[in-house]
């Protein structure tokens, strides 16, 4: 029976971050992963044709590149092959009149585009960007602190000393505001507001959902300030580097090793895991589950009446909307009617107005396949040509806000009520929608691979219902309430058992925040 200081369930980037940090502190660590490939939602695979590298789910690595974990280990990760490719032309939205608006790292270029719509908004963008430089350290400091904690309190105290009470009030308002309210208060042009609001759907915020203003604000301003980065050769570059560094530091990575149970002693303390093979691994100091808490407490732990209240609250932890991924191998990039320059952008949002964003979300919430889904079209080979044969390309299409269970089709065209039967027809709708903005796309397709919400959950059980957020980020499930009020600091009612991952604070994304913060708390 093998024994370690810590056993980490799940080799996603948060689990690997925790493992690397603990191994650096001298802990003996084993990471056990059910799949044959580490990475969770951060994987790069040849999904269509040989030689075409597709990011299965996550593509944008800006959060990881700017994370505290990367700052600590940057040199070692680079030594293990981690490379980033910068995207100076970050994101754009195309509108119904076949025009576009995009954010490039060059402030003058971005504001020139905005000025053609509204000189007043161009000035307001510059003002917002100027204030972002002073606001960002405090906001990112809060997002990078355990919740609640003395560290978070110190961030607020420092912000109050430097910025004053009025700034705290205004920031608190922004954290609670909907995207529409935040944007209406600052800009006049609908296209600019639509371009920024599209970021809300990357989480699960419609234009009118309270608490949704933060992500559009941060993504817009951070891209303006720093640009966007993707992984050289694929998003899995961070996983390859992290696993290499873990092994260098003496850590163990066990693939094809699903956990069947978390073992407890007579007092109820977590003391290790039992693998599906029957092998038992002992954890002397901690068991860390980088997994959806409903899976941990619903499948891996024995029932315990003493935590009935916690278990009941956890059952009510809501998933966000489902997601579909459509991966295409192309002989050339889409020919965007809105302009040839769109081929330079990492992301192209096809969510042309706030009305359709709200409508698509409402349809999905009602169990309907949206008639017009919101699309995030990633063009990674425009930034990193190494992902495809010379002159060829891959397209990464993320279909936002879909139902986990299909009750009908808002367009009245697809009769199937299960994803296995409906996914190809719905992918056809997605391709047709892209073609309204980029005619002739179908003739460029060399290969196609579709992952429905059900497929994504089968690939990664943490994505319940295809929810790539591992739980809605609405205000009642964020900050102090993620995943359950009173348990936002990664500890659970089971002594010795801790949670990390997208279901915990600070939520979804590639920033490795929960794994990094938890491991630092344990290793003090």
Tens digits of residue pLDDT in 271-295: 999 999 999 999 999 999 999 999 9
- Average pLDDT taken over every residue of the chain: 97
Strand order in the sheet with 445-451: 100-104, 89-94, 347-350, 374-378, 393-402, 322-330, 445-451
Phi first, then psi: what are they for 207, rounded to 5°? Answer: -60, -20
Residue 176 CA to residue 132 CA, distance in Å, equals: 18
Helix (H) or strand (E) holding 132: helix 119-143
From residue 115, give the alpha-carbon distance in Å to each of 125, 180, 248, 352. 10, 21, 52, 19
471 HSE (CA, 13 A, CB side) = 28
Cα Rg of the chain (Å, integer)? 22
Burial class (CB in 10 A: 0-12, 13-18, 19+), 399: buried
> Does 1 or 373 have the greater pLDDT score?
373
Mean of the pLDDT values across residues 105-120? 98
What is the structure's pLDDT at 448?
A: 98
Residue 258 CA to residue 269 CA, distance in Å, equals: 21
Burial class (CB in 10 A: 0-12, 13-18, 19+), 8: buried
DSSP for 417-429, please give it. Answer: -SHHHHHHHHHHH
Task: Give percent of the chain above pLDDT 70.
Answer: 100
Residue 1 CA to residue 153 CA, distance in Å, equals: 43
- Model pLDDT for residues 92-108, shown as the tens digit of each residue: 999 999 999 999 999 99
What is the structure's pLDDT at 524?
A: 85
Task: Give percent of the chain above pLDDT 90.
Answer: 99
What is the structure's pLDDT at 345?
A: 98
Mean of the pLDDT values across residues 405-432? 98
pTM assigned to the model = 0.97
Asked if 176 contacts 211 with a C-beta cutoff of 8 angstroms, the reply is yes
- Model pLDDT for residues 302-357, shown as the tens digit of each residue: 999 999 999 999 999 999 999 999 999 999 999 999 999 999 999 999 999 999 99
Q: Using the predicted structure, report yes or no on whether residue 1 has a pLDDT greater than 90.
A: no
From residue 121, give the alpha-carbon distance in Å to each of 107, 130, 404. 13, 14, 39
The candidate with the shortest Cα–Cα distance to 233, out of 434, 52, 5, 31, is 52
Q: Which residues contact 407 (CB under 8 A, 6 or more apart)?
A: 366, 367, 368, 417
What is the structure's pLDDT at 477?
A: 97
Residue 337 CA to residue 40 CA, distance in Å, equals: 36
Q: Which domains does the chain have, with CATH numbers?
A: 2-44+57-84+234-317+473-522 (3.50.50.60), 111-189+214-226 (no CATH)
- Model pLDDT for residues 199-248, shown as the tens digit of each residue: 999 999 999 999 999 999 999 999 999 999 999 999 999 999 999 999 99
DSSP for 456-512, please give it. Answer: HHHH-TTSGGG-TTSS--SGGGSGGGSSSTT-TTSB-SSTTEEEESTTSTT-SSSS-
- Model pLDDT for residues 48-100, shown as the tens digit of each residue: 999 999 999 999 999 999 999 999 999 999 999 999 999 999 999 999 999 99
The candidate with the shortest Cα–Cα distance to 371, out of 338, 347, 399, 397, is 399
What is the separation, in whole angstroms, between the first and last Cα of the chain? Answer: 28
Mean of the pLDDT values across residues 185-208? 97
Residue 383 CA to residue 380 CA, distance in Å, equals: 5
Find the DSSP H helices in 202-295: 214-226, 237-248, 293-295
Asked if 184 contacts 208 with a C-beta cutoff of 8 angstroms, the reply is no
Q: Are strands 29-32 and 84-87 parallel, antiparallel or unpaired?
A: unpaired
């Amino acid at each position: 029976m093998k024994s370690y200081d810590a056993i980490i369930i799940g080799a996603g980037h948060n689990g690997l971050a925790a493992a690397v940090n603990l191994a650096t502190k001298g802990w003996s660590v084993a990471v056990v992963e059910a799949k044959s490939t580490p990475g969770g939602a951060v994987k790069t695979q040849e999904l269509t044709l040989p030689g075409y590298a597709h990011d299965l789910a996550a593509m944008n690595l800006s959060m990881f590149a700017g994370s505290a974990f990367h700052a600590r280990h940057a040199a070692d990760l680079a030594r293990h092959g981690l490379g980033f490719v910068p995207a100076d032309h970050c994101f754009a939205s195309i509108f119904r009149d076949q025009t576009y608006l995009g954010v490039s790292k060059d402030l003058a270029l971005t504001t020139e585009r905005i000025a053609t719509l509204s000189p007043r908004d161009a000035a307001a963008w510059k003002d917002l960007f100027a204030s972002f430089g002073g606001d960002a350290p405090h906001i990112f400091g809060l997002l990078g602190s355990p919740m609640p904690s003395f560290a978070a309190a110190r961030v607020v105290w420092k912000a109050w000393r430097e910025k004053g009470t009025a700034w705290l009030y205004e920031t608190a308002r922004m954290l609670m505001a909907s995207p529409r309210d935040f944007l209406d208060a600052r800009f006049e042009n609908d296209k600019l507001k639509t371009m920024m609001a599209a970021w809300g759907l990357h989480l699960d915020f419609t234009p009118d959902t309270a608490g949704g203003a933060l992500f559009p604000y941060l993504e817009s301003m951070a891209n303006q300030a720093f640009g966007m980065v993707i992984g050289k050769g694929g998003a899995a570059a961070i996983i390859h580097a992290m696993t290499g560094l873990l092994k260098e530091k003496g850590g163990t990575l066990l693939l094809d090793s699903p956990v069947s149970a978390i073992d407890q002693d007579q007092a109820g303390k977590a003391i290790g895991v039992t693998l599906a093979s029957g092998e038992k691994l002992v954890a002397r100091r901690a068991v860390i589950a980088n997994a959806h808490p409903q899976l941990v407490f619903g499948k891996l732990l024995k029932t315990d009446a003493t935590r009935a209240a916690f278990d009941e609250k956890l059952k009510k932890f809501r998933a966000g909307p489902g997601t579909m991924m459509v991966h295409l191998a192309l002989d050339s990039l889409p020919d965007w009617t809105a302009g040839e320059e769109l081929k330079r952008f990492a992301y192209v949002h096809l969510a042309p107005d706030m009305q359709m964003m709200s409508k698509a979300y409402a349809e999905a919430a009602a169990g309907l396949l949206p008639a017009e889904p919101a699309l995030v079209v990633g063009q990674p080979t425009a930034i990193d040509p190494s992902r495809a044969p010379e002159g060829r390309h891959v397209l990464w299409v993320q279909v936002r806000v879909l139902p986990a269970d299909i009750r009908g089709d808002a367009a009245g065209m697809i009769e199937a009520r299960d994803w296995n039967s409906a996914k190809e027809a719905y992918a056809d709708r997605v391709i047709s929608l892209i073609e309204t903005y980029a005619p002739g796309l179908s003739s460029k397709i060399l290969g196609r691979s579709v992952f429905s919400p059900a497929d994504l959950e089968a690939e990664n059980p943490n994505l319940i219902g295809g929810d790539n957020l591992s739980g809605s980020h609405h205000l009642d499930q964020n900050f102090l309430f993620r995943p359950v009020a009173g348990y936002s600091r990664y500890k659970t009612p089971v002594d010795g058992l801790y949670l990390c991952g997208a279901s915990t604070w600070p939520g979804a994304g590639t920033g490795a925040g929960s794994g990094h913060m938890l491991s630092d708390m344990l290793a003090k």
